[in-house]
Amino acid sequence: MTGAGQTITVVGGGLAGIAAACALADAGSRVQLLERRPYLGGRASSYEHPGTSEVIDNCQHVLIGRCTSLIDLYRRLGVLGAIRWYDRFTFLAPGVRPTILETGRLPAPFHAAPAFLRAPAFSLRDKLAIGRGLSHFLRALPPDTEEDFAHWLQRHRQTQGAIERFWRPVLVSALNEDLERISVHYAAKVFRESFLLSGESGRMGIPSIPLSELYNRAIGYLEARGGQVCLRTSVESLRPTPTGWRAVAGGRALESDAVVLALPFEAMAALLPALPHNAGAEELGAHLAEFEHSPITGIHLWLDREATDLDHAVLLDTTIQWMFNKSRLQPGRRGSEASYLELVVSASRSLVTMSRQQIIDLALRELALFFPGVASAKLIKAAVVKEVRATYSIRPGLDRLRPRAASPWPGIFLAGDWTASGWPSTMEGAARTGYLAAEAVSRALGHARSFLAPELPAAGLMRWIRS
Ligand SMILES: Cc1cc2nc3c(=O)[nH]c(=O)nc-3n(C[C@H](O)[C@H](O)[C@H](O)COP(=O)(O)OP(=O)(O)OC[C@H]3O[C@@H](n4cnc5c(N)ncnc54)[C@H](O)[C@@H]3O)c2cc1C
Ligand 1 atom closest to the CA of 15, numbered from 1: 25
Q: How far apart are CA 453 and CA 22, in angstroms?
A: 14
Whether 290 contacts 398, CB under 8 Å: yes
What percent of the chain has a predicted confidence (pLDDT) above 90?
95
Ligand 1 mean position, distance from CA 391 (Å): 8
Ligand 1 mean position, distance from CA 223 (Å): 22
Nearest CA to ligand 1 atom 13: 426
pLDDT-derived band at 337 (thresholds 50, 70, 90) equals: confident
Instruction: Supply the pLDDT for residue 333.
Output: 75
Phi and psi for 326 in degrees, rounded to 5?
-65, -30
Buried b (16+ CB within 10 A) or exposed e, 242-258: eebbebebeeeebebbb
For residue range 290-299, what is the model confidence (pLDDT) as tens digits?
Answer: 999 999 999 9
Nearest C-alpha neighbor of 88 from the set 240, 263, 242, 314: 314
Phi and psi for 83 in degrees, rounded to 5?
-100, 125
Ligand 1 mean position, distance from CA 447 (Å): 29
Ligand 1 mean position, distance from CA 67 (Å): 16
Instruction: Supply the pLDDT for residue 335.
Output: 61
Pocket test of ligand 1: the residue of 11, 43, 68 to mutate, having most ligand atoms within 8 Å of its CB, is: 43
Ligand 1 mean position, distance from CA 396 (Å): 22
Instruction: Supply the pLDDT for residue 331.
Output: 86
Sign of CA dihedral 84, 90, 93, 96: negative
Nearest CA to ligand 1 atom 38: 267
Ligand 1 atom closest to the CA of 271, numbered from 1: 41
Q: How far apart are CA 111 and CA 325, in angstroms?
A: 27
> Residue range 351-359: average pLDDT?
97
- Residues 6 or more apart whose CB falls under 8 angstroms from that of 4 comprise 27, 28, 29, 447
Own/partner pairs for 126-132, CB < 8 Å, 24+ apart?
Answer: 126/159, 126/161, 126/162, 126/165, 126/166, 129/157, 129/158, 129/159, 129/162, 130/158, 130/162, 130/166, 130/167, 132/156
> Residue range 442-461: average pLDDT?
94
pLDDT-derived band at 327 (thresholds 50, 70, 90) equals: very high
pLDDT-derived band at 250 (thresholds 50, 70, 90) equals: confident
For residue range 389-423, what is the model confidence (pLDDT) as tens digits?
Answer: 999 999 999 999 999 999 999 999 999 999 999 99
Ligand 1 mean position, distance from CA 262 (Å): 10
Q: CA-based diameter of the chain, in Å?
A: 70
Ligand 1 atom closest to the CA of 16, numbered from 1: 25
Q: How far apart are CA 284 and CA 233, in angstroms?
A: 24
Instruction: Supply the pLDDT for residue 197.
Output: 96
Question: For the chain, what percentages of helix, strand and coil (3-state, to nearest 5) are there?
Answer: 35, 25, 40
Ligand 1 mean position, distance from CA 43 (Å): 3
Instruction: Supply the pLDDT for residue 69.
Output: 98
Nearest CA to ligand 1 atom 15: 426
> Residue range 212-237: average pLDDT?
97
Mean of the per-residue pLDDT values of the chain:
96
Instruction: Supply the pLDDT for residue 467.
Output: 60
Ligand 1 mean position, distance from CA 274 (Å): 22
Domains of the chain: 7-50+211-290+396-444 (3.50.50.60), 100-202 (1.10.3110), 293-392 (3.90.660.10)
Nearest CA to ligand 1 atom 8: 61
- Amino acid of residue 1: M
Instruction: Supply the pLDDT for residue 384.
Output: 98
Helices 68-77 and 427-444, interaxial angle, to 10°? 80
For residue range 116-167, what is the model confidence (pLDDT) as tens digits?
Answer: 999 999 999 999 999 999 999 999 999 999 999 999 999 999 999 999 999 9
Ligand 1 mean position, distance from CA 185 (Å): 23
Pocket lined around ligand 1, Cβ cut-off 6 Å? 11-17, 34-37, 42-44, 58-59, 61-63, 234-235, 262-264, 267, 271, 296, 387, 390-391, 416-417, 425-428, 430
Helix (H, G, I), strand (E, B) or coil at 314: strand
